[in-house]
């Protein structure tokens, strides 16, 4: 990607912050930040003038002049503290505001109508570890962007201010090359330009390998962190099948990847530090050495010598902005590219997969009746291989239908009905304005109070205490009633069977008209699963039931069958 294309994509991504609802406040803070940056430059200019006056007073052995400079530095000291502290507060307000806006923007794109699931199946863009991209990369992208923009503005203002000062201090020197003598105006300015530009170009070339090295390290770190979280979430399963050694080996491999990426980044840093450490020493000595002959010859005072050296350093520092900030730039760019990779995948979903008029995709439409219809429905794998071909049938309200054949295909049918599997073609007609309730093998129980987990996605006060207690008793988890207001990570604290019974509690509370069961009670024995199916049929007699199960006598509860290959 070209530099221009990259920056344009970043501006389109993040520039909307300055046009948000709070744009007046945001722009006011931005203007204040710029004004404070100008004030910082003013302080820097004043300090160089104060330095010249101080060394002139010392050179003249003037006690009165020294006391004047002592009084002046106290005022400069107070002003600098006030400006620096104010600048920090305003800058951090902008940083957290921008990060908040961009985080909400990306989460609203990612956590929208199953996009967080669909994006894992796309081939375009980079979408692995979205948690790291949203939590860490957005932080780096926004904080570093403001830091870099501020330092760049500071460098430009510094360059403008001290070029003028250094030009006036340079005077005129005569360049004698033997057969011709040429007057050179502002020689210190030209030397600073040549010195800083050469160093910037060399430093930029040396630092380029840091971008891919940083990106590789961030990816390896995210993969390792995600693997640890996954193991924690499935700790019971791992313990029951004694998979600890396998997990340890997997962790070692993932951490070894971090080590390799770390070494790659270390080599890039090694080259940068070798250059920058030598450059910093030379920058300190060079301006004094080139101005010292004029002081020795009596052409300038000691104060002018020190002011020239400081002005040269300030100008060279401004021109060396790319060198001084190359590590931050490369880290910032790596994070931005990771954010853009996730957004590219989400854009691909919107443009290609989620298009309602795409003949290569399954179409979902609301019907005017209480019927679920499949018209010439074909469900395909990601590689295009068909797993359901030309399904034409309808399921009427109140029917109990057992999906037979391949369980994998049945799960894909359920995903197609929810819009989470658009690959294929044909049409699915959904019953109009009727709630579809899907029961996966493991219900989602978010961390929090048990009451809020059961009522999810509704608010925790959506159902009365009496309704909750009745549902808990019917589901056979009466002992959990006392823990309704207890906070815990329920997906880890409870057994799989208990979690599936809580899924039944949620069903009894919502009382939907269309129920889709996908091995939602497979942890129970046959007798227990039969009791639950009998309970559902008794408590929700008018509900439509589509079931995927391995229960041997499931046909007793499902007069109708839908065979799938």
Domains of the chain: 3-353 (1.20.1560.10), 363-564 (3.40.50.300)
pLDDT number for residue 89: 94
* Residue 473 clears pLDDT 60, i.e. is over it: yes
Answer yes or no: pTM beyond 0.85.
Answer: no
Choose the weakest-confidence range: 194-203, 428-437, 491-500.
Answer: 194-203
CB 517 within 8 A of CB 495: no
Residue 94's pLDDT band (boundaries 50, 70, 90)? Answer: very high
pLDDT number for residue 62: 83
* Residue 144 clears pLDDT 70, i.e. is over it: yes
| Residue with the larger pLDDT of the pair 173 and 429 | 429
pLDDT number for residue 171: 63
pLDDT number for residue 235: 74
SS3 for 208-222 is CCHHHHHHHHHHHHH
* Residue 301 clears pLDDT 80, i.e. is over it: no
Name the average pLDDT for the chain: 84
Query: Where in 31-100 does DSSP place strands (E)?
Result: none
SS3 for 118-146 is HHHHCCCCCCCCHHHHHHHHHHHHHHHHH
Q: Which of 199-208, 332-341, 536-545 has the highest average model confidence (pLDDT)?
A: 536-545
3-state secondary structure of 173: strand
pLDDT number for residue 221: 86
Condensed to tens digits (0 to 9), the pLDDT of residues 406-422 reads: 778 888 899 889 888 88
Angle, helices 302-319/138-170, rounded to nearest 10 degrees = 140
Query: In sequence order, what are the residues at sequence separation of 6 or more whose Cβ sits closer than 8 angstroms to the Cβ of residue 99?
Result: 138, 139, 142, 143
| 550 phi and psi angles, rounded to 5 deg | -105, 15
H/E stretch holding 453 reads: helix 450-455
H/E stretch holding 333 reads: helix 321-348
């Amino acid at each position: 990607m070209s530099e221009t294309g990259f920056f344009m994509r970043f501006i389109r991504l993040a520039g909307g912050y300055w046009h948000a609802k709070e744009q007046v406040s945001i722009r006011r803070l931005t203007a204040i930040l710029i004004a404070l940056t100008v004030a910082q430059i003013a302080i820097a200019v004043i300090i160089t003038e104060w330095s010249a006056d101080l060394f002139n007073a010392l050179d003249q052995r003037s006690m009165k002049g020294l006391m004047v400079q002592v009084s002046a530095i106290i005022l400069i000291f107070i002003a600098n503290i006030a400006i620096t502290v104010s600048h920090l507060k305003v800058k951090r307000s902008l940083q957290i505001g921008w990060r908040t806006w961009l985080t909400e923007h990306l989460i609203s794109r990612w956590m929208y109508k199953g996009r967080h699931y669909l994006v894992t199946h796309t081939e375009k863009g980079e979408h692995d570890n979205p948690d790291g991209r949203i939590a860490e990369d957005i932080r780096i992208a926004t904080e570093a962007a403001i830091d870099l923009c501020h330092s760049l503005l500071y460098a430009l203002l510094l360059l403008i201010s001290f070029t003028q000062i250094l030009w006036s201090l340079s005077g005129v020197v005569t360049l004698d090359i033997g057969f011709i003598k040429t007057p050179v105006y502002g020689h210190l300015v030209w030397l600073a330009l040549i010195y800083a530009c050469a160093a910037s170009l060399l430093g930029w070339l040396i630092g380029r390998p840091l971008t891919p090295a940083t990106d590789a390290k961030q990816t390896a770190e995210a993969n390792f962190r995600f693997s640890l979280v996954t193991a924690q979430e499935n700790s019971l399963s791992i313990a029951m099948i004694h998979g600890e050694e396998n997990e340890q080996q997997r962790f070692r491999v993932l951490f070894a990847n971090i080590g390799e990426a770390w070494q790659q980044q270390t080599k890039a840093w090694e080259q940068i530090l070798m250059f920058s450490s030598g450059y910093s020493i030379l920058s300190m000595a060079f301006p004094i050495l080139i101005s010292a002959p004029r002081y020795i010859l009596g052409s300038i005072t000691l104060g002018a010598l020190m002011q020239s050296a400081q002005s040269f350093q300030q100008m060279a520092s401004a021109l060396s902005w790319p060198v001084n900030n190359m590590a931050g730039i490369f880290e910032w760019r790596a994070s931005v590219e990771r954010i853009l990779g996730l957004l590219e995948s989400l854009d691909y979903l919107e443009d290609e997969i989620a298009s309602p008029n795409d003949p290569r995709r399954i179409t979902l439409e609301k019907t005017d009746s209480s019927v679920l219809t499949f018209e010439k429905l074909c469900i395909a794998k990601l590689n295009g291989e068909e797993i359901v071909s030309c399904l034409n049938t309808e399921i009427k309200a109140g029917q109990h239908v057992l999906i037979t054949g391949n369980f994998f295909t049945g799960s894909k049918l359920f995903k197609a009905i929810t819009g989470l599997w658009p690959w294929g073609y044909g049409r699915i007609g959904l019953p109009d304005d009727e709630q579809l309730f899907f029961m996966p093998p493991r219900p989602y129980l978010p961390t929090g109070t048990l009451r809020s987990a059961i009522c999810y996605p509704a608010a925790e006060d959506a159902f009365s205490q009496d309704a909750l207690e009745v549902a808990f008793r019917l589901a056979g988890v009466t002992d959990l009633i006392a823990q309704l207001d207890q906070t815990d990570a329920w997906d880890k604290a409870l057994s799989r069977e208990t979690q599936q019974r809580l899924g039944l509690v949620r069903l009894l509370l919502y009382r939907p008209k269309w129920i889709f069961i996908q091995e939602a009670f497979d942890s129970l024995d046959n007798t227990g699963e039969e009791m639950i199916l009998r309970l559902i049929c008794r408590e929700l007699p008018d509900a439509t039931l589509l079931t995927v199960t391995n229960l041997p006598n499931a046909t007793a509860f499902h007069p109708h069958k839908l065979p799938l290959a």
